[in-house]
Amino acid sequence: MSGSTVITPTAPPVPDQAAAPAMGARVWAQLGERPRLVRTASALSFIAAWQVGSMTGFLDERFYSSPTAVAAAGAELFTGTDMLPHVVTTGTELLVGYGLGVVAAVLVGFVLGYYRVIGTLADPVVMALYVTPRLAIYPVLVIWFGLGLGSKIVMVFLGTFFMVLINTISGVKDVDPSLIRAARSFMAPRSFILRKVMIPGAIPSIMTGLRQGFSQAIIAVITAEMFVSLSGMGNLISTYGQAMRTDALLFLVLLVSSFAYLAIRGLSAVERRLSSWRPS
Amino acid sequence: MSETVVEARDVTIRYTSKNNSSVLAVDGLNLSIERGEFVTIVGSSGCGKTSFLYAIDGLLPIHGGEIRVHGGLVNGPGRDRAVVFQEFALLPWRSVLDNIAFGLEIRKVGKAERHAKARELVDLVGLNGFEDRFPHELSGGMRQRVGIARALAIEPDILLMDEPFGALDAQTRESMQEELLQIWQKTGKTVVFVTHDIDEAIYLADRVVVMRARPGRIREILPVDLPRPRTIDVKADPRFVRMRQHLWHLLHDNEPTLAAVQAS
Amino acid sequence: MNAVLEHPVGRALSSDRSLKVLGVALFFGAWELLPWVLGLDSFVLPPPSVIVVTLVNEIVAGRVTEHLLVTMAEYGLALGLAAVIGISLGMLAGRVRVFDYALEPFVWFLYSTPLTAIYPLLILWVGLGFNSVLLIAFLLAVVPVIVNTTVGVKNVPEPYLRVGHSFMADRWQLLRKVVLPGSFPLVLAGIRLATGRALTGVVIGEMFGANAGLGFRIAENAARIRVPEVFAYLLLIVAFGVVVTQAFGALEARLLRYQVRAR
């Protein structure tokens, strides 16, 4: 590459005689440099429009609630003690199912990624189950494992498992073969290659799986609880939905999605740190 | 009967570097180019030669002076100019034929007509049989033939070439140079050709414009009085060798000394 | 939203055909034996043979076609809408930074919310059945299309744009002839993700609040504890997913045939 490529002449040239850009254009250009401001303004104007809409009666409050009603419902839920047991239920299902799913998927993923024959044998089944909406099996899980924690834990497990599995397999397969050859040529034992070459090489991809798997896990637990359950956030959402308590429902949705957002953000931050050695 | 087609007067080009400081890419550049002339611009990296070329095309705004093409002020790309880009810049999703026809398509020339024109150019640059291939299926030399054909397709008066052969291996590069001269002689275009290769600059040119960096200025304009048509043998001509030597020194005297680098 | 959403399927696929067939055979063979080994009744864990027979019975009894058609219609419509609207929004966000930032909170909300949680609301807003199924499938599917198109448009290589400008393309031509095809590989990757998410949306929507479709049949049969029937419809959904994925893979390979084959 020649050094003369530093310029980036994509913008059509501005004729010299052009006067200073109009006020509107200048503001617009400045907004282009202020992502945070624009994001906040955008979200706030949505909320404001929603509030105005419901206050003027343009939006039926029974159907669409309003920001103030949602906030009030939130205050009510937080001060009361009704929500706590549901949080505990959902948290337990999520953690147990996710934890088991991750461990199982990483182990199986290494086997399927490392041993080519086994990997190929399992490939079509893994792919078929991966591309299928696994939540569809939940009704069967209820029949097998009951209405309580068991069926949800299995559902969360399945949601997590396939996401992490696929990413682990592709991570293990994508470990630079020349690194493995190099290690072999130094007569490194298998366990050394596994610990020092395969695992570090596959970690960025596994981390991607952990992130994607977690968002699957949350979807799985909420959906399962909403379908059939005795308790849990999904159960609560479903109950409020049936009672047409739009305000409480929306508050719970916001709560769950904020949690999911923060968790995914956190996991992506870890992911970026762990894969910072990779060329982007 | 000479006629000036490109006239650059006191041209200044700035760009904003990554750390937000303004850098003078080209400073007070004066140059006029005659119809049918083959001018090469040679200089080291960062001497502003590509910026200047883009400014002639109108891809890049200038911040001082003026550039006139056929007497009119340049304020954007025009129908009378076409660029052959560095690293080919072919659109990978288009076949050879559709890449060549790109400029015509933009001008809303009908499909039959633009393909007929593109086929003529396929002939001219010797790509027969490759019309339906995609760029990634071609060798580097073939890709740049497509780049040249694409530029010629819109029938420009002036061909602006930005290190077109820089990405090619030495052998391909020499045969492409020879072919380019043949095409030039056949079509009579005015060519402005940017390169950092001294041999290439002399071999192709009627005049070699030598630029120096930081800020980009013309150091010297060297007329090349070697007879045409030229073949590769001309590179052994003593006049050629002398010019090469001269240019080499011009360009390398300009390199900052170690002391200067340490001082800055 | 700088990260490209990647679909790892393509990378993990390997080629050994006969091994794969053997793998499928082993899987179904083991499953066939499993109820017998565990001593489980086929009403609890039906072996594949029972599932296939049940499916055939359902088809013969005329209980499948109608629901399959409903699912296909909802799916096709949701995916189509997601592609068209997602690409449009993504192109706009990719070209206009302010719009990109303004859109981000909503995209992030859609991306991190388990959308089934707002399903009761969707039913309230657009009614139970076809509309709400369509809406949730669309909302699930549109996100990766928006995100990937935005990134794709932003990352169209500079030289391509330069070529467009130099040959005097106007705004619209630049968009249609350079930016859109230039971002195509990423757009398609987004749609590939959407194919899976739309199917999830359709099936869940049907399970929760509908009176037709394969998902509805699952919920209906599960409520009567007819496990073999549930598995029959699951099998159908798996087949649906596999067919769609394969078909899209073939389409993608055809559309991107100009690219150098990776690896």
Interface contact flag, C114 A32, Cβ < 8 Å: no
Residues 6+ apart with CB under 8 A from A19: none
| Smallest CA–CA distance from A14 into chain B, residue | B61
**Domain presence at residue B163:** yes
pLDDT tens per residue across all 263 residues of chain C: 344 554 444 444 445 788 889 999 999 999 999 988 888 888 889 999 999 999 999 999 999 999 999 999 999 999 999 999 999 999 999 999 999 999 999 998 888 888 889 999 999 899 888 999 999 999 999 999 999 999 999 999 999 999 999 999 999 999 999 999 999 999 999 999 999 999 999 999 999 888 899 999 999 999 999 999 999 999 999 999 999 999 999 999 888 888 865 43
**Domain presence at residue B16:** no
Number of domains into which chain C is organized: 1
Q: Give contacts of B193 with chain A, Cβ < 8 Å.
A: none
In order, the DSSP letters of C222-250 are HHTT-HHHHHHHHHHHHHHHHHHHHHHHH
Q: Give contacts of A12 with chain B, Cβ < 8 Å.
A: 76
Q: Give contacts of A18 with chain B, Cβ < 8 Å.
A: none
Report the residue of A4, A5, A8, A33 to disrupt the B interface, i.e. the one with the largest count of B CBs within 10 Å. Answer: A4
**Domain presence at residue A74:** no
Counting Cα atoms < 13 Å in the Cβ hemisphere of A215 gives 24
Q: How far is CA B56 from the centre of its chain?
A: 11
Report the residue of C166, C176, C177, C256 to disrupt the B interface, i.e. the one with the largest count of B CBs within 10 Å. Answer: C166
Number of domains into which chain B is organized: 1
**Domain presence at residue C230:** yes
In order, the DSSP letters of A4-68 are GGG--TTSPPPPTTPPSPPHHHHHHHHHTT-HHHHHHHHHHHHHHHHHHHHHTTSS-HHHH--HH
pLDDT of residue C261: 52
Q: Give contacts of B91 with chain C, Cβ < 8 Å.
A: 160, 163, 178, 181-182
Interface contact flag, C168 B82, Cβ < 8 Å: no
**Domain presence at residue C138:** yes
pLDDT of residue C5: 52
Q: Give contacts of B44 with chain A, Cβ < 8 Å.
A: 3
Q: Under a CB-based contact definition with an 8 Å cutoff, are residues B193 and B38 in contact?
A: yes
pLDDT of residue A53: 92
**Domain presence at residue B176:** yes
To the nearest whole angstrom, how far is the Cα of A17 from the nearest Cα of chain B? 10
Length of chain B: 264
Interface contact flag, C257 B134, Cβ < 8 Å: yes
- Distance (Å, rounded) from C-alpha B161 to C-alpha B82? 8
pLDDT at A1 exceeding the cut of 80: no
Interface contact flag, B92 C259, Cβ < 8 Å: yes
Interface contact flag, A128 C238, Cβ < 8 Å: yes
To the nearest whole angstrom, how far is the Cα of C100 from the nearest Cα of chain B? 23
pLDDT of residue A275: 72
Report the residue of B84, B91, B160 to disrupt the C interface, i.e. the one with the largest count of C CBs within 10 Å. Answer: B91
Pairing mode, strands B22-34 and B158-162 = unpaired
Q: Give contacts of C119 with chain A, Cβ < 8 Å.
A: 226, 241
Q: Under a CB-based contact definition with an 8 Å cutoff, are residues A245 and A73 in contact?
A: yes
Nearest CB to B77; choose among C166, C177, C182: C166
- The secondary structure of residue C211, as a DSSP letter, is S
Query: Which of A21-25, B100-104, B135-139, C134-138 bottoms out in mean pLDDT, i.e. has the lowest?
Result: A21-25
Q: Identify the band that residue B232 occupies on the pLDDT scale cut at 50, 70 and 90.
A: confident
Residue numbers of the domain that contains C223: 55-255
Burial B98-122 (b: 16+ CB within 10 A, else e): bbbbbbbbbeebeeeebbebbbebb
Q: Identify the band that residue A255 occupies on the pLDDT scale cut at 50, 70 and 90.
A: very high
Other C-beta atoms lying within 10 Å of the C-beta of residue B52: 29
Burial C36-62 (b: 16+ CB within 10 A, else e): eeeeeeeeebbbbebbbebbeebeeee
Cβ–Cβ contact B54 with A under 8 A:
yes
- Distance (Å, rounded) from C-alpha C103 to C-alpha B159? 43
Residue numbers of the domain that contains B44: 35-60+75-80+156-263
Cβ–Cβ contact C176 with B under 8 A:
no
| Smallest CA–CA distance from A3 into chain B, residue | B45
Other C-beta atoms lying within 10 Å of the C-beta of residue B220: 12
Output the CA–CA distances (angstroms, integers) from residue B92 to A190, B137, C156, C167, in the order listed.
43, 10, 12, 17
Interface contact flag, A174 C20, Cβ < 8 Å: no
In order, the DSSP letters of B229-244 are S--GGGGGSHHHHHHH
**Domain presence at residue C233:** yes
Can you give the CATH number for the domain in which C145 is found?
1.10.3720.10
pLDDT at B53 exceeding the cut of 90: yes
Mean predicted confidence (pLDDT) in A117-144 = 90
pLDDT at A15 exceeding the cut of 80: no
Other C-beta atoms lying within 10 Å of the C-beta of residue A26: 11
- Distance (Å, rounded) from C-alpha B34 to C-alpha B189? 10
Can you give the CATH number for the domain in which B253 is found?
3.40.50.300
Number of domains into which chain A is organized: 1
pLDDT, tens digit, 9 for 90 and up, residues B98-110: 999 999 999 999 9
Interface contact flag, B91 C178, Cβ < 8 Å: yes
Question: Crossing angle for the helix pair A246-274 and A199-227, nearest 10 degrees?
Answer: 170
Q: Identity (one letter) of the amino acid at B240?
A: F
Secondary structure (3-state) at B264: coil
Report the residue of B83, B90, B93, B192 to disrupt the C interface, i.e. the one with the largest count of C CBs within 10 Å. Answer: B93
Q: Give contacts of C163 with chain B, Cβ < 8 Å.
A: 85, 89, 91, 102
- Type and span of the H or E element at B193: strand B190-195
pLDDT, tens digit, 9 for 90 and up, residues C45-98: 999 999 999 999 999 999 999 999 999 999 999 999 999 999 999 999 999 999
Report the residue of C168, C174, C184, C186 to disrupt the B interface, i.e. the one with the largest count of B CBs within 10 Å. Answer: C168
What ipTM is given for this predicted complex?
0.87
**Domain presence at residue C97:** yes
**Domain presence at residue B224:** yes
To the nearest whole angstrom, how far is the Cα of A270 from the nearest Cα of chain B? 28
To the nearest whole angstrom, how far is the Cα of C75 from the nearest Cα of chain B? 30
- Distance (Å, rounded) from C-alpha B153 to C-alpha A259? 58
Interface contact flag, C238 A170, Cβ < 8 Å: no
| Smallest CA–CA distance from C176 into chain B, residue | B106
Can you give the CATH number for the domain in which A258 is found?
1.10.3720.10
Q: Starting at the edge strand that comes first in sequence, how are the strands of the sheet with B190-195 ordered? A: B81-84, B158-162, B190-195, B38-42, B207-212, B217-223
